Amino acid sequence: MRNVALRLRYDGSRYHGWQVQKNESSVAQTLEEALTKVCGHPVKTVGCGRTDAGVHALSYCANFRTDCRIPIQRIPLAVNARLPGDIAVLEAMEAPESFNAIGSCIKKEYIYKIHNSPIRDPFLDKRACFYPQKLDLPRMQAAAEAFEGRHDFRAVRSVGTETRTTVRTVHWCRAEKEGDLITVAICADGFLYNMCRAMVGTMVYASYGKLQPEEIPRLLEKGDRRLTGPTMPPQGLYLHRLWYEDPVGRMFGD
């Protein structure tokens, strides 16, 4: 039985997230249906993490097990021929027996895009969060830096999937602007439910002076979700980069 790792990307606009849903279309279900046709047997995938409805992935990892002998280099083309245009398998490789897309992931980077302009851009609809009020980038960056390090992040999570601990390490949190587009990049060893979107919402609050960037460590210590910023809309969020040990790490090395 081969353990196959996939590198894929998708536009999540019309899906109810990665996870298989009973009554909603999901990325995992769509991928599994295509893999089942290619492999000739039912396929169950393991994804590197859940992405919510409307969230995108520029780089995503999933693995599955199969006794199908199709050459590994042919899997992307064969699967893509059976996938809709908003999901694409970029690469496939045979992974070690112990590899698990979520359990083997060392760290992840999400990015959040804000179109900060008084005029909407129809080409960014469902690709970025339209935010017409002017944002203060230096204050957002100061707030971003306040999240870095190892903290209990329960103050910036929504009630959802239960976890053993709400402590995470944020390796970096950065806000940059090019033209009217603000991009926030957050890299951590793991993320809580809606953590990224709540962190960005807190940065937006800091931009307006509704809270001070230097207050953020104290707010994290208090752990009260009501004291931090709002959960931003999903359409601006992308899973951007993933890190694994080799040999799968080489597939994600770009």
> What's the rounded Cα separation, in Å, for the pair 238 and 200?
13
Region of residue 93 (phi > 0: left; psi between -120 and 50: alpha; otherwise: beta): beta
**Three-state DSSP class for residue 47:** strand
H/E run at residue 112: strand 107-115
Q: Catalytic pick from 11, 52, 136, 254?
A: 52
CB burial string 202-228: b at 16+ within 10 A, e below: bbbbbbeeebebebbeebbeebebebb
Whether 86 is catalytic: no
Active-site annotation, residues:
52
